[in-house]
């Protein structure tokens, strides 16, 4: 069962962003707002998708965190170090990554009934774009 009453607490966090990338992303976001371009676009997401090996790194990180959670006999792990939002089951462990608020505008919410949900904030009051499948996922215990 996933929720407050379960052995769910393995929380990992870290400051793993490059200052240069964040500053460039802010400048690009400002420019996009001034040009009235709709929707959210993240330089960090673009760079990660284009750099060969990033997907391998992310997958390896997720598997390592899940193995560690399994060794601790917890139901799930929540982390956000790699800024890649995800909710998925890796063997017996539920892996949740909140992404980050700066680049992805994502967070994990635990509902009163114990459901965990990855949510995305839409900037500027624009219409939400179709969420990525992994961002629309809800997990119930």
pLDDT tens-digit readout, 28-65: 888 888 898 877 787 777 777 776 577 788 888 899 99
DSSP letters for 69-88: HHHTT-SEEEE-TT---EEE
Alpha carbons 78 and 13: distance in angstroms, whole number: 9
pLDDT tens-digit readout, 122-138: 766 544 444 444 444 45
Identify the pLDDT of residue 20.
Answer: 60
Identify the pLDDT of residue 139.
Answer: 55
Alpha carbons 73 and 105: distance in angstroms, whole number: 31
pLDDT tens-digit readout, 72-129: 999 999 988 677 899 999 999 999 999 888 878 899 999 999 889 999 887 665 444 4
């Amino acid at each position: 069962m996933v929720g407050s009453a379960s052995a769910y607490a393995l929380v990992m966090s870290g400051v793993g962003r490059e200052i240069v990338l964040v500053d460039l992303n802010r400048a690009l976001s400002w420019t996009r707002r001034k040009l009235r371009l709709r929707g959210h676009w993240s330089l960090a997401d673009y760079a990660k998708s284009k750099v060969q090996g990033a997907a391998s790194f992310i997958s390896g990180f997720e598997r390592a965190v899940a193995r560690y959670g399994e060794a601790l006999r917890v139901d799930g792990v929540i982390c956000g170090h790699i800024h890649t939002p995800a909710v998925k089951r890796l063997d017996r462990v539920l892996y949740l990554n909140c992404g980050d608020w700066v680049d992805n505008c994502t967070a994990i919410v635990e509902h009163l009934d114990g459901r965990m949900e990855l949510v995305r904030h839409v900037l500027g009051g624009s219409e939400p774009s179709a969420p990525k499948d992994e961002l629309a996922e809800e997990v119930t215990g």
